[in-house]
Structure 1
């Protein structure tokens, strides 16, 4: 019985980590998209020029 509980806990922890990883990947994709939009906006308005 004790071994069964350990396996269940391990499965729950693994699932929690997997969900956290998926969320982090979604957040990263969102940041990349927002960064690209910002860069395009800066380029369009001429704010990206350093000279």
Structure 2
């Protein structure tokens, strides 16, 4: 009985096809919507934290307004012509 032995005599086209066939089964990351690691791991603030930040911002604005009004009040007391 004769046997056909297939050895390393593959054509370059077959070898390229075989490599592509094997590598096609490996998923590659999509670069269309890629994010950096820092963006991917970034923690989003909770609703409570957002409300707290908004409160602190408004509180700071009101404190500035209070200081301005108090300064105007002091200036009005010092100015006898008004």
TM-score, shorter chain, exceeding 0.5: yes
1:45 partner SS: coil
Moved over 4 A (4+): none
Equivalent residue runs for 1:5-44 within 5 Å: 11-44=46-79
For CA contacts below 8 A with separation 6 or more, give which structure has more relative contact order. 1
Deviations 1:14-36 (A, max 9, x none): 00000000011011000000000
The answer to which structure has the higher helix fraction is: 1
Structure 1 gap segments, 5+ residues each: 1-6, 47-51
Rg larger in 1 or in 2? 2
* Residues paired across the two proteins, number: 39
Deviation at 1:45, TM superposition (A): 1.8
Structure 2: gaps spanning 5 or more residues: 1-42
Task: Please name the residue that 2:31 is paired with.
Answer: none
TM-score (ref. length: structure 1) = 0.67
